[in-house]
Structure 1
Amino acid sequence: GDSTTSVLCEYTLKDIDHVLEGTFKEADSSSFWRELPRDHMPEGVPKNCDSNQNLSDTVLSFLRSHVLMHGNIYSRPPFQIVFQTFNMNITKLVSDYISITTGNDAGEQLTLLYVGTSDGKILKLLQKKKTEKYRWLSTWLIDDKKTPIRDMIIAEDTKQLYVSTDAGVYQLSVGQCNRYTICMECERDPLCRYDVQHNRCVESDDGPKSSARHSPELWCKKSVQRPAKVFQLIRKVGETIWLQCDVNEHLRPNIEWRWNGQNIQESMNNNYLLTKEQNLIIIGMNTSLNGQYTCFVFNQPIVSYALDTDGESLNSFGYGSSSVSTTLSKRDCTCITAEKYIEKYNDWCKEFENYQRAYNEWEILRDQSCPKP
């Protein structure tokens, strides 16, 4: 099918001014574009982007008929795309330059780029050094209507981002740290820091944080030792159980489920089923399946379930030097509507039907290729 690609390239004003100070192109009688000699240009043609003088009618007429400069402007680095998007059109760009301090008291300047798209999204990009490619940090959906981003501006005094769409005008903080669900993504953003005590991403108290953490992955792996949520569940033998790992959609392919520290995906058996959202379904609960089920994303524990069957003793599970356990009760649970419950149940039924269909097909193929003696 048709696909749309948008690219970002970076140019310098110095290179642009250098070309503007040069000569123009002109099509000859054979429609071949050639360089126009400088003495054929009228006096008063602007030489750079800063030119702001009144232009004569002769100059204006010349500029209307000569729209191409002879020189070429190359991106920095040459012919390199600094960022590329697929299946979306870029409609607006706005940049923010922030200074941070390092251990040597030498300042660094980072560039944050906010990219508006035709489907109502804002992409937050980071460039640590000039000539480097931009790194994607996060994506925000302004509203459910997905109307195109028409204009954006950053208020320097309040660091608020004002966004205009066909549906209205929105005011957002430039950090949007609460959108990050894991430590590693949070620590990559110079405006955010990960609160280990409360397992959440918050805005940096003192403005842009130091860039001393050159490896957010290692820092997060060392600092975040326990999940934000730990639940204890008691279920009956033979029951089917659904365990949810609630993370942002783009992180779902990186979900890893572990049972008592063992990777479940590497040893999937008939009792385990993963949904398309990478949630875990346990079919036919029995005592051999008791234990600690933990969802990890990039080695960070997100949520853990201490699962026992009736008659088994409950144990708390330790993370690092601490031990955390929570027992679910009607008082602790958030009430949901019947419609929401039915929707989730139907989703589960569809997943189970797909599993059952695949299992039946496998049995047929097994019997065909390996006849019973």
Structure 2
Amino acid sequence: MMKSQVALLYVLIIMSGGLAQSLKPRRSVFFSDVNLKLFKEPDFDSLSSLLVREDIGLLFIGARGKVIMLRLDDITEKTGETEWTVSSEDKSKCKMKGGSIEHCDNYITMMHTRVDGKILVCGTKAFDPNCTLLMVYKGNVTMENINDKGRWKVPSNPEEKFASMLDGSDLYTAASTKPHGQKVLFQRHGENSMKNEEELFLSSKPNMISIHLAELSKSSEDHEDDNVILFFIENSFEDPRQLQVSRVARVCKSDIGGRSILRNKWTSYLEVSVDCPFGDIGSPSLLQDIFFLRDENNLMNSIFYATFTLNTEPSSTCNQTAVCAYKLSDIRQVFKGNYMATTSSGHWQKYTGEFRSPYPQSCINDEMRQSNIRTSRDFEDIVHRFAKHHPLMEGAVKPITGRPLLVRSAAQFSRIVVDKVTSLDGQQHNVMFISNNSGWLQKAVWSGDDGGRIIEELQLFQDPQPIRFLQLSSRSGQLYSATRTAVAQLSVRDCSRYTSCADCLTARDPYCGWDRLRGLCAAVAGASNLSMIQNLTDGDVGICPNSHWSKIIDIHTTVDVAQFLPCSPDTNLPISWSFSGNILEPGPRHILLSQGLVLTPSFTDEGLYTCETVEVVKGREHRMAVILYNIKVSEGGGNWFQAIIIYILACVCVLCVMFIIYVCWKQKARNLVGSSSESDDTTDLTGSSSKSDDTTVAVRVMIPLQPELKTEPCHCGNSGPKNQDNSSGSGTDKTKSTGRKRGQNLLFKTDL
């Protein structure tokens, strides 16, 4: 009997050895337990754009050959659909250009809301991009019959990345202008159309990320013209190795080009590298997405939140990924630094020559206006000639903390949005929502006191797939995410997963607080301090109402017979065990695992065993009971019923093993008929089995295992927590389950 118990302990110890503690989300919520809404149709497999319209309560989805309208408060309700397809003749022409059957359709890749409420829509139109307008009136959507060529606005290939921004009547785009991305332009379409010098991106093969407007004219002391800021990745043209590097570029909104040099081209274009230091030295961190969080009180304090990865392969699941943040004022300061210039040998180095005042590529400000320089055409040609050959600045933009806010070694971060949340004490907190390429969403915050932490991660899509779009409606507190095949709606103010006051407060979720009147964790938005408590500083649970733990499980066990006591908290926090009020230390009779406790008791081990989660917040330790066991120990001979059951089970297992060996022997003998030497080998094999003193059998034991979400070191394979539910999504609300993780089968061997 003891041999089997020792074997069990050996297997459990091996399993727990690979589950080392590391930085991870506080809680992981699997698909079946996330309270969300899903939209999915049978032929819906090519979502290519997403637009939130809070003013009319609609979510617009751009797909292949159509635009779909969903209710913003419940995306399972489809309100309309308008088709925009291509003719068979257009498809034939597309194939002649080298397009595939799949790509020779009309993918709606861009949607922007105009000032008049109409929606500018652009599609690939069988490798001949086109744009039109959608009009929304009393819930009805119609498409204007116009023919606006979009070749210079969106790429012909729906797989190519591009960036766009609509500012009033001006459309800014950064996209390839030829079918296979041979030529990339950063342009402004409108009354004063502009583009970059064509040689700028000729050899750097840029990958455009996003475009943003910084309205400096409203906040800067010298009333500098507004800046248009572009983030992208390109091959470093100043590095002989041509490594990819992350960049940020800037042009002035009022730039209208030069008089003769750079006519109808940007005269204010400057670019600089963006640094996010993590991973191995020398490994470039590559931009994936940007979110611009504006500070309404001081625009200079506005922050760009960015996701990065060290791997260029989007399908990889085993590379570090990070989030860095950059202040607008820091970016602006770098663009006032030193220029880079090329030498006669073609190398780039710091520019040490002279140039006239005002500073080349500067945006118009009050000082220039006093000197009668009111537009870019008022600069002398020598200034524009310098700008043409000096687009690169020295150095790099550094993150505000000097390091990333978050670093993980899991599925790569893809999209990011940030919500500004006001807590009960009136303080504002920036909550980050970060998607990855396996269908999961991270909810995280960062503070200067304890750094970045992931409050929870949510599995939004059952099948592992990249989340391609992420948009937030701060007004309603709804988050919308989309893959190529489905759209999910999630309430960011859902606090129902915190089941106790202690759990609610120690999570330090800016959205949530404990409602003392209703006795539950609820959203603090609009709540009163009289009925709600919240502590985001240190998660002190001393202000919680008194609560008593009543769930005690009685366990009757036998002396020297190992007993497994499972403990599966609904968080990823480490667990600790106490015995009769004292912390339990590991020993020969107490094997502590991340999933529970293996107890091999003596009579002195009778008593109360408590499993608790342990969470340290700013030096203060918080312990919360998960489950209690009242252990009662009896003599080994007294438990005759258990012995009989184990004996019968062992006999059955021995018979099963003998039967399997017999079947295998028969199959082997049948395959080796006619070969005497091989027949002898078979006889030796079966004979050796019969000579064994002990028979090895397989026994299946159910042990509840808490999923471990490791970040260091990285192990390739699964990119996130293993999905333990096989339920399928639908277009309706999913019923919320208990949240308790299921057990897993453990197969081990024992000698009988």
Q: TM-score, normalised by structure 1?
A: 0.63
Partner of residue 702, structure 2: 344
Q: How does 1:54-73 map to 2 (within 5 A)?
A: 67-70=391-394, 72-73=396-397
Structure 1, residues 53-108: CA drift from partner, whole Å, max 9, x if none?
A: x999x99999887542346433324x333322224422111101112343xxxx32
Residue pair 2:700, 2:747 contacting (<8 A) in 1 also: no
The residue identity in structure 1 corresponding to 2:325 is: E
Structure 1, residues 127-184: CA drift from partner, whole Å, max 9, x if none?
A: 346x984333222222342212222111122101111224421111114434457766
Secondary structure of the equivalent of 1:149?
coil
Q: Does 1:161 pair with 2:479?
A: yes
Residue pair 1:182, 1:300 contacting (<8 A) in 2 also: no
Residue pair 2:702, 2:746 contacting (<8 A) in 1 also: yes
Secondary structure of the equivalent of 1:9?
strand
The residue identity in structure 2 corresponding to 1:124 is: K
Secondary structure of the equivalent of 1:69?
strand
Structure 1, residues 29-63: CA drift from partner, whole Å, max 9, x if none?
A: 22133338655999987679xxxxx999x999998
Mapped to 2, the partners of 1:200 and 1:246 lie a distance apart of: 22
Secondary structure of the equivalent of 1:190?
coil
Mapped to 1, the partners of 2:386 and 2:442 lie a distance apart of: 40
Partner of residue 463, structure 2: 145
Q: CA deviation at 1:201?
A: 4.8
Mapped to 2, the partners of 1:195 and 1:282 lie a distance apart of: 39
Mapped to 1, the partners of 2:385 and 2:414 lie a distance apart of: 31
The residue identity in structure 2 corresponding to 1:83 is: L
Partner of residue 215, structure 1: 538
Aligned residues between the structures:
304
Mapped to 2, the partners of 1:162 and 1:189 lie a distance apart of: 20
Alpha-carbon RMSD across the aligned residues, in angstroms, is 4.6
Structure 1, residues 201-260: CA drift from partner, whole Å, max 9, x if none?
A: 54447459776563314537x756544x61333536467643222214632xx2112222
Mapped to 1, the partners of 2:542 and 2:477 lie a distance apart of: 28
Residue pair 1:240, 1:283 contacting (<8 A) in 2 also: yes
Secondary structure of the equivalent of 2:627?
strand
Q: Does 1:279 pair with 2:596?
A: yes
Secondary structure of the equivalent of 1:186?
helix
Q: Closer, same or farther in 2 for the Cα pair 1:280/1:176, shift >3 Å?
A: farther
Secondary structure of the equivalent of 2:331?
helix
Mapped to 2, the partners of 1:182 and 1:278 lie a distance apart of: 22
Q: Does 1:17 pair with 2:325?
A: no
Partner of residue 305, structure 1: 629
Secondary structure of the equivalent of 1:148?
coil
Residue pair 1:148, 1:165 contacting (<8 A) in 2 also: yes
Q: How does 1:1-373 map to 2 (within 5 A)?
A: 4-20=319-335, 24-30=339-345, 31-35=347-351, 67-70=391-394, 72-77=396-401, 79-102=402-425, 107-128=426-447, 133-180=451-498, 186-187=504-505, 188-194=508-514, 201-204=521-524, 206=526, 214-219=537-542, 226-227=548-549, 230-233=551-554, 235=556, 237=558, 241-248=563-570, 250-251=572-573, 254-264=574-584, 266=585, 268-270=587-589, 272-275=590-593, 277-283=594-600, 288-298=604-614, 299-308=623-632, 344=702, 347=745, 350=748
Q: CA deviation at 1:191?
A: 1.2
Residue pair 2:445, 2:452 contacting (<8 A) in 1 also: yes
Q: Which has the higher helix share?
A: 1
Q: Closer, same or farther in 2 for the Cα pair 1:211/1:62, shift >3 Å?
A: farther
Structure with greater Cα Rg:
2
The residue identity in structure 1 corresponding to 2:414 is: T
Partner of residue 683, structure 2: none
* More RCO (CA 8 Å, sep 6+): 2
Q: Closer, same or farther in 2 for the Cα pair 1:37/1:143, shift >3 Å?
A: farther
The residue identity in structure 2 corresponding to 1:293 is: Y
Secondary structure of the equivalent of 1:177?
coil
Q: Closer, same or farther in 2 for the Cα pair 1:139/1:279, shift >3 Å?
A: same
* Identity rate, percent: 21
Structure 1, residues 293-339: CA drift from partner, whole Å, max 9, x if none?
A: 2111122111112344689xxxxxxxxxxxxxxxxxxxxxxxxxxxx
